[in-house]
């Protein structure tokens, strides 16, 4: 039984990570989950949150605003709407995330309102975890 798996994180702008990992924590739409080698196959949507990767090269963390994760016994691939290393998240970046989420919420159909309000809340949670301020509009 292997104790590592391939992990890849891709956003539309760039490949953020491609490494051998022992665990990947994912902000799934239905809750936090940890993918490990030999995990049962699963595809899930992502909510805004932090993807945490444990590898022999060291731990890494990335902020994602949504997307999908595919987990197989051999590895985990995250296809993010927007993603960046936690170290690159500044107050200005967070303000952009909040502004985009608030604009989407404010222009939502009634059917989408709850989901988009949750996104605004999730981004505020990222801000709190990173010691930044989520300036609500």
Per-residue model confidence as pLDDT tens digits over 14-63: 999 999 999 999 999 999 999 999 999 999 999 999 999 999 889 999 99
pLDDT at 136: 60
> Do 30 and 46 form a contact (C-beta atoms < 8 A)?
no
Verify that 37 and 104 share a domain, yes or no: no
Express each pLDDT in 126-137 by its tens digit.
989 998 887 765
Nearest to 77 by CA among 67, 89, 63: 67
Q: Which helix (H) or strand (E) holds 104?
A: helix 91-106
Verify that 71 and 20 share a domain, yes or no: yes
| 21/54 Cα distance (integer angstroms) | 6
Verify that 107 and 93 share a domain, yes or no: yes
The structural domain count of the chain equals 2
136 is a domain residue: no
- Of 51, 67, 86, the last residue of a domain is 86
Verify that 65 and 23 share a domain, yes or no: yes
48 is a domain residue: yes
Q: Provide the domain limits for residue 18.
A: 5-86
pLDDT at 114: 84
């Amino acid at each position: 039984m292997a104790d590592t798996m391939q992990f890849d994180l891709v956003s539309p702008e760039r490949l953020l990570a491609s490494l051998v990992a022992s665990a990947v924590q994912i902000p799934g739409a239905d809750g936090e989950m940890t993918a490990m080698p030999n995990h049962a196959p699963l595809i899930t949507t992502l909510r805004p949150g932090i993807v945490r990767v444990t590898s022999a090269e060291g731990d890494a963390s990335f902020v994602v605003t949504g997307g999908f994760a595919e987990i197989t016994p051999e590895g985990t691939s995250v296809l993010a709407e927007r993603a960046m290393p936690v170290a690159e998240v500044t107050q200005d970046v967070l303000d952009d995330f909040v502004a985009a989420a608030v604009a989407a919420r404010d222009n939502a159909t009634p059917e989408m309102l709850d989901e988009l309000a949750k996104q605004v809340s999730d981004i505020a949670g990222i801000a709190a975890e990173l010691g930044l301020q989520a300036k609500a509009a």
